[in-house]
Amino acid sequence: GAGVSQTPSNKVTEKGKYVELRCDPISGHTALYWYRQSLGQGPEFLIYFQGTGAADDSGLPNDRFFAVRPEGSVSTLKIQRTERGDSAVYLCASSLSQSSGRTGELFFGEGSRLTVL
């Protein structure tokens, strides 16, 4: 497809379980971002990849959260020992990188809604 694809669209899990959320960015976009959106709030930055490397992971809330992008395309957000407070919509976005160092327009996927019971 032409847009950012995220799977699963919905995930319900029990407290303490491990969860993986997948993001397939727009082809050719080297920059990839994960954001988290709680109900009634704006998205909150988690991590930014430029190619295969995490250029900035300062938004990850704690060491239970980890993300990878091994081949510079698809990314997986991994959450260990899930807690009820992790319940949110996890949004992935991608963009072209610009020579100026700025990133271009962010294109968001529809998100993965995580519910931790």
Partner 1 sequence: QQQVKQSPQSLIVQKGGISIINCAYENTAFDYFPWYQQFPGKGPALLIAIRPDVSEKKEGRFTISFNKSAKQFSLHIMDSQPGDSATYFCAASKGNYQLIWGAGTKLIIKP
Report how far residue 95's alpha carbon sits from residue 38's, in angstroms, rounded to the nearest whole number: 23
Instruction: Catalog residues that contact partner 1 under the rule CB under 8 A.
Output: 4, 31, 33, 40-45, 48, 56, 58-59, 91, 93, 95, 101-103, 105-111
Q: How far is the CB of 33 from partner 1 (least distance, A)?
A: 6
Write out the H or E segment, with its range, that includes residue 70. Answer: none
Which DSSP symbol is given to 85?
Answer: G
Which DSSP symbol is given to 86?
Answer: G
Q: How far is the CB of 8 from partner 1 (least distance, A)?
A: 14
Structure tokens belonging to residue 94 = 């991608």
Which residue, 18 or 26, is less far from partner 1 as judged by CB?
Answer: 26
Q: How far is the CB of 61 from partner 1 (least distance, A)?
A: 15
